Structure 1
Amino acid sequence: MFTSWLRNAAKIQNKSQITTKCGPLIEQIRQLRALRAVQNENNVPATEDATTQQLASKQLKSHKEVALDFGNRDAHVPSFNLAAHVNKSNTLQQLLKLGVDLHSIERRKGLGEFVLRLDFEQNVKPFLTFLVDQGVSPDDFGRMITKNPLLFKEDLDDLKTRMEYLKSKRFSTEAQQRILTHNPYWLMFSTRRIDRRLGYFQKEFHLSGHDIRLLATKEPRLVTYNMEHIRKSVFTLREEMGFSPKELQTLIVRKPRLMMIPPDDIVERFSYIHNDMGLSHKQIVQCPELLASREFRLRERHEFLKLLGRAQYDPLKDLYISPSDVVQGNNFYFVRNVAKSDLQTYDLFLKTR
Structure 2
Amino acid sequence: MASSCTQLCLPCRHFLCSKTVASTWQYCTQVRHCIAVTRVPTKIRNGSFIINGNPIISQAKQRWKQQMFCYSDLAANHLATPVKEDNGVEEMSTAEVVPYKSPLLPIARDALLATESQMSFDLDAAAEFSALEVISDEEAVNISVPSAIPPASTSLRDYVDQSETLSKLVQLGVNLWKLEQRPNVGSMLLRLNFNTDVAPRLLFLKEIGVEDSRFGYIITHNPFILTENLEQLQSRVNYLKSKKFSSETVASMVSRAPYLLNFSVKRLDNRLGFYQQQLNLSASRTRNIVVRLPRLLCGSLEPVKENLKVCEIELGFKENEIQHIVIAVPKVLTANKRKLTQIFDFVHNIMKVPHNLIAKFPQVLNSKYLRLRERHLFLEYLGKAQYDPTLPNYISLDRLVSLPDETFCTELALATLEDFCLFQKTL
> TM-score, normalising length from structure 2?
0.63
Shift of 1:90: 1.2
**1:94 paired residue among 162, 168, 192:** 168
Amino acid at match of 1:320: Y
Q: Determine the structure 1 residue equivalent to 2:280.
A: 206
Confirm or deny that 1:347 pairs with 2:421: yes
Shift of 1:240: 1.0
Partner Cα separation in structure 2 for residue 106 and residue 304 of structure 1: 47
Q: Determine the structure 2 residue equivalent to 1:268.
A: 342
With 265-274 and 332-341 compared, the bigger mean Cα shift is at 332-341
**2:317 paired residue among 243, 248, 270:** 243
CA contact (8 A) 1:92 1:116 kept: yes
The runs of at least 4 aligned residues of structure 1 exceeding 6 Å deviation read none
Partner Cα separation in structure 2 for residue 132 and residue 337 of structure 1: 46
Q: Determine the structure 1 residue equivalent to 2:51.
A: none
With 307-316 and 192-201 compared, the bigger mean Cα shift is at 307-316
CA contact (8 A) 1:80 1:112 kept: no
CA contact (8 A) 1:332 1:343 kept: yes
Partner Cα separation in structure 1 for residue 403 and residue 162 of structure 2: 47
Confirm or deny that 1:134 pairs with 2:218: no
Shift of 1:165: 0.6
Corresponding residue pairs, total? 279
The residue correspondences of 1:120-159 to structure 2 (distance < 5 A) are 120-159=194-233
| Pair 77,297 (structure 1): closer, same or farther in 2 beyond 3 Å | farther
Partner Cα separation in structure 2 for residue 303 and residue 313 of structure 1: 13
> Which structure has the bigger radius of gyration?
2
Partner Cα separation in structure 1 for residue 407 and residue 229 of structure 2: 49
Q: Secondary structure at the match of 1:184?
A: coil
Partner Cα separation in structure 1 for residue 412 and residue 246 of structure 2: 37
Q: Determine the structure 1 residue equivalent to 2:53.
A: none
| Pair 271,99 (structure 1): closer, same or farther in 2 beyond 3 Å | same
Greater fraction helix: 1
Q: Determine the structure 1 residue equivalent to 2:104.
A: none
**1:304 paired residue among 378, 381, 388:** 378
Q: Determine the structure 2 residue equivalent to 1:233.
A: 307
Confirm or deny that 1:328 pairs with 2:402: yes
Superposed CA offset, 1:239-298 (max 9, x none): 111111111111111111111112222111111111111212221122211111232221
| Pair 77,341 (structure 1): closer, same or farther in 2 beyond 3 Å | farther
Amino acid at match of 2:169: L
Shift of 1:78: 5.2
Superposed CA offset, 1:67-102 (max 9, x none): xxxxxxxxx885241111111111111111111111
**2:238 paired residue among 151, 155, 164:** 164
Amino acid at match of 1:124: V
Identity %: 37
Partner Cα separation in structure 1 for residue 220 and residue 412 of structure 2: 39
Shift of 1:318: 2.1
Confirm or deny that 1:294 pairs with 2:368: yes
Partner Cα separation in structure 1 for residue 231 and residue 291 of structure 2: 23
Amino acid at match of 1:318: P
| Structure 2 unaligned blocks of 5 or more | 1-149
Partner Cα separation in structure 2 for residue 89 and residue 331 of structure 1: 50
What is the aligned-residue RMSD (CA, Å)? 1.7
Q: Secondary structure at the match of 2:272?
A: helix
CA contact (8 A) 1:202 1:208 kept: yes
Q: Secondary structure at the match of 1:93?
A: helix
Partner Cα separation in structure 1 for residue 412 and residue 217 of structure 2: 36
Q: Determine the structure 2 residue equivalent to 1:316.
A: 390
| Structure 1 unaligned blocks of 5 or more | 1-75
Confirm or deny that 1:116 pairs with 2:116: no
CA contact (8 A) 1:273 1:279 kept: yes
Superposed CA offset, 1:22-70 (max 9, x none): xxxxxxxxxxxxxxxxxxxxxxxxxxxxxxxxxxxxxxxxxxxxxxxxx
Amino acid at match of 1:212: T
| Pair 83,344 (structure 1): closer, same or farther in 2 beyond 3 Å | same
Q: Determine the structure 1 residue equivalent to 2:355.
A: 281
Q: Determine the structure 2 residue equivalent to 1:106.
A: 180
Partner Cα separation in structure 1 for residue 201 and residue 414 of structure 2: 53
Partner Cα separation in structure 2 for residue 336 and residue 92 of structure 1: 52
Superposed CA offset, 1:292-334 (max 9, x none): 1232221111111111222111222222211011111443343
CA contact (8 A) 1:80 1:113 kept: no
CA contact (8 A) 1:77 1:84 kept: no
Q: Determine the structure 1 residue equivalent to 2:3.
A: none
CA contact (8 A) 1:79 1:113 kept: no
